Amino acid sequence: MNANLTADRPTFVTHLECSLTGERYAADQLHGLSRAGRPLLVRYDLDAVAATVSRDALAARETDLWRWRELLPVRRTENIVSLGEVETPLVPIARSGGPGVLVKDEGRLPTGSFKARGLVMAVAMARELGVTRIAMPTNGNAGAALAAYATRCGIETIVLCPEDTPEVNVREIALQGARVWRVNGLIDDCGAIVGKGAADGRWFDFSTLKEPYRIEGKKTMGLELAAQFGWELPDAIFYPTGGGTGLIGMWKAFDELERLGWIGSKRPRMYAVQAAGCAPIVKAFEDGVEHAERWEDASTVAAGIRVPRAVGDFLILRAVRESGGRALAVDDGEILRAVDDAARQDGLLLCPEGGATLAAYRQAKADGLVGADERVVLFNCATGLKYPMPPADNWLDRHGTIDFDAL
């Protein structure tokens, strides 16, 4: 077992806080949304963290998710559940992107997506707080991560997904021990069913941002970026945005790192990337409002960002605006072209949601929002191996005359 998982785990959580009102909630108790119906944020004694561990000492640890243990909420080592959460690499895509463009390839994580970051933390905390049954809506990859981690520590799991969820996701969820049900609706329709069951006391609701700890797992993306960039930050981050947990988490991570004195005040411009067929955050950004209306008739090839309504909408918009970034929408044709270009020109197989970030970067560069000399990070949120690929039908008869020139 990784040494980071067996060492003593001091935790510095002081309380939880409503992201809208600032109302405080006790740590070490099971919570969903705040009384205002908004996400809870975990708060730490950062002065104590700074007195306990130095930036250099942390940098010397093994480069996995659990190296950040002082900034994570799990108190007891025995409650950690892990499948080997590695630090994901930054991969240059000079041909399809540009000389300063790096892809943070989250497909290297367990279950093949960045959903592993959030769900490993949420499941570990559910275990610590005595949860025995969980339900969650999913567009695919989150359900797979939940099934894997919950099964690993013996928590019963029910997953509801839209009927057109990619078949590979539905099957991996089932194979990894969850009861998975297809629903004739979108992810928020699935979430309504999960919410009703939770209200009836049947299970704990693990919907995006309806428990406090998925953000804490996802914020490790921001912590990793700071370390990978030598305790600086890139100029811009393009993030595929459905529920937006990772964008919110990274913004929280940057604030915590600055308060620790480990980075300065510079922040990346945060670009929330959505599909043109489901762009509630983009519309809210352009309208200058704090909350997004539900997007009707949502449709896109990038199923992971097909989220008609996000409970953390105001947190996404706040981070984007405070950073000087934007919310951008790209159409399905641009997404598929970007996936094709990255694969054929740079050898990197993006998922559709990752393709959306490349398409959005190209659009932003053309519009003068980012410069060719800036350091830019695009998030590829899952391995492209989970998604349909174009046919490759060439066939060779070894018994016939072989046209080597044609080969």
Domain ranges of the chain: 3-66, 90-112+213-384, 115-205
**318-327 mean pLDDT:** 98
Second-level CATH architecture of 115-205:
3-Layer(aba) Sandwich (3.40)
Summarised one tens digit per residue, pLDDT across range 281-291 is 999 999 999 99
Give yes or no for residue 218 having a pLDDT over 70.
yes
Per residue in 381-405, pLDDT (tens digit) is 999 999 989 999 999 999 999 999 9
The pLDDT, as a whole number, for residue 7 is 47
> What pTM does this model have?
0.94
User: So what's the architecture of 90-112+213-384 in CATH?
Assistant: 3-Layer(aba) Sandwich (3.40)
Express as a percent the part of the chain with pLDDT over 90. Answer: 96
Return the structure tokens found at 280. Answer: 């509630």
CB 68, CB 223: distance < 8 Å = yes
What local confidence, expressed as pLDDT, does residue 9 receive?
55
> Band of the pLDDT at 11, cuts 50, 70, 90?
confident
Please return the burial class of 321, using the count of CB atoms within 10 Å of its CB with bins 0-12, 13-18 and 19+.
Answer: middle
Within 10 Å of residue 126's Cβ, how many Cβ atoms? Answer: 26
Residue 1's pLDDT is: 46
Residue 302, pLDDT score: 94
Please give the pLDDT value at position 59.
87
Strand partners, 32: none
Q: What is the mean pLDDT of the chain?
A: 95
- pLDDT for 10 equals 61
CA angle 317, 371, 325 (to 5 degrees): 5
Contact (Cβ atoms closer than 8 angstroms) between residue 273 and residue 357: yes
With 50 as the cut, is the pLDDT of residue 247 above it? yes
* 90-112+213-384 against 115-205: fold identical: yes
> CB–CB of 66/72 below 8 Å?
yes
